[in-house]
Amino acid sequence: MADRLTQLQICLDQLLEQFCATINYVNTNHDYEPSDNEEKMADKDANVADPKEFKDTMNELSTDIILKTRQIFTIIESLPGIGVSTKDQLDKIESLQNELLLVQKERRKAIKEKNNLLDWCNSMINSVSDDIVETARFS
């Protein structure tokens, strides 16, 4: 099973990266908005994005953030062992451990039986082949 907590932490990191990317995009691509009666500023070096493109990108970035958040919430919902107390977990581990020991014992037994059967079959095959050799010799 994938480690949900690590997944969650990775998602958190990604979310923060998206935050940074969003702010960075706004910071580098924004247009200048004059306030009140100011003259609109212009900067030749500024990398001002086309208004439509700017809006689209903003939409995309915010959608990404929302999607990432939804993903995070889904992962939180599916965290293992919700509503199970530590004692329950430990009890379950112990019972499973005992069961595993029993099953392993049974497995060893089954393997032993299989080996016995295999030995018996081998002896059978040997005796059959011996008989064939005998018949071939006498005929």
Partner 1 sequence: MTTANDAEIADLYPPPPPYYEFFTTQNIAKANQWIKQHEIKKNINNGEEDEDEEQVTEQNSNNDGDGKTNNNNEQLKLPTGTFASYPDDEIRFLLPPPKPEGPTYRLFGNIWQFEDKMPSLKEMGVEQLYNDDVKNQDEVDDKNMITVEEEKEKKEEEKKEQEVDSKDLVENPNDELSEEDSNSSLKRINELKKLFKSLLLNFLELIGIVSKNPTLYPEKLEQIRIVLINIHHLLNEYRPHQARESLILMLQNQVTATKKEIAEIKRGCQMVEERLPKIVGEIMKNNQLKKSFDEKHQPDEEKSQNNELVTSIDSLKLAAADDLLKALE
- Provide the minimum distance between the beta carbon of 40 and partner 1 in the complex, in angstroms, as a whole number: 17
Find the helix packing angle between 4-29 and 51-77, rounded to 10°.
170
Alpha-carbon span 112 to 104, nearest angstrom: 12
Q: Which position has the token pair 């998206």?
A: 18
Report yes or no: 30 and 54 within 8 Å, Cβ to Cβ: yes
Per CB under 8 A, residues contacting partner 1 are 1, 3-5, 8-9, 12, 15-16, 19, 22-23, 65, 69, 72-73, 76-77, 79-86, 88-90, 92-93, 96-97, 99-100, 103-104, 106-107, 110-111, 113-114, 117-118, 121, 124-125, 128-129, 132, 135-136, 139
- Provide the minimum distance between the beta carbon of 24 and partner 1 in the complex, in angstroms, as a whole number: 12
